[in-house]
Amino acid sequence: MFQFSLRRILSSGELQNEKAKDYRNIVILQVLIVTFGLTLTGPILEDSKSDLSKFIISVFSFFGALYTYLLCDLLRNFTKSKLLLAVVFSLLISTVTLGILAEFPYYQIIQISNRQALLLWVHGLLFPIEVTVIAFAIRDIFSGGFLTPDKLWGAACVYLMVGISFGSLYDLITIADRGGIGKEIELGFPNYSESINFSFCVLGGVDHGLEPEKLIRNISTMEAVWGNLYGMLIIGKLLGLPRQEDKLS
């Protein structure tokens, strides 16, 4: 269903359909990651070495690998730069593969002497790539003069992507500064899942019950402001656009 290759030149309608499909695929996966990630973190926080926790981590490792692939697939809609696509794809594949091999829950496939440095490397590369895709997607959503399905799916995709990317940033900070989020959590998936939880609490205006350090608190304020601003801008933009079929009729 998903094939990573440079696209042939598409017509305007075909490109809209392709973007709508790619946005929809990512939104579905984002909903799965966020929903199940927030509801199944209990066993992992209690004991990350239990059989149930290992199974959950394995499933979400697969989701994470698929998510990074879909980001690459989406990026192809926004740029014709083969160099950019090749660099992003290579970085994502190598980073995700290294992370999975080093953090595989059932047995350690490769030995990493400095686990903290590995996690910093993985999230330090993933976050800027996520920001790059978000920037391209926002530019795409706010371009054009018609309300099309790809813009609706794109608006949902960007909103969820912002929550996940800020979660990656919080995880990155807490890897370098243990306990920066308000409590010290085991590095790896437990800390990442708690960071995602914290991010969506901030984005949704829900009390997270934590007292993070100043840096994370300031970043979370920017995330909350961004979430409200994005909501107002996207509603104003999309509601003000005519439907393409209405224009043609």
Position 8 in a domain: no
34-80 pLDDT, tens digit per residue, is 887 778 788 888 888 888 888 888 888 888 888 888 888 888 888 88
What per-residue confidence (pLDDT) applies to 11?
A: 56
Position 194 in a domain: yes
| DSSP string for residues in 169-198 | HHHHHHHHSTTTTSS---TTHHHHHHHHHH
What per-residue confidence (pLDDT) applies to 139?
A: 87
Position 153 in a domain: yes
* Mean of per-residue pLDDT scores for the chain: 81
Position 159 in a domain: yes
Position 58 in a domain: yes
Position 248 in a domain: no
> Residue 147: beta bridge partners?
243
171-219 pLDDT, tens digit per residue, is 999 988 888 888 888 888 888 888 888 999 898 888 888 888 999 999 9
The answer to whether 173 and 192 have CB atoms below 8 angstroms apart is no
Q: Report angle CA 169, 171, 172 to the nearest 5 degrees.
A: 65
Position 6 in a domain: no
132-159 pLDDT, tens digit per residue, is 889 998 888 887 666 777 888 888 899 9
Its domain, for residue 75, covers 15-242
Position 199 in a domain: yes
User: Distance between CA 66 and CA 72 in Å, rounded?
Assistant: 10
Provide the domain count of the chain. 1
Model's pTM, two decimal places? 0.83
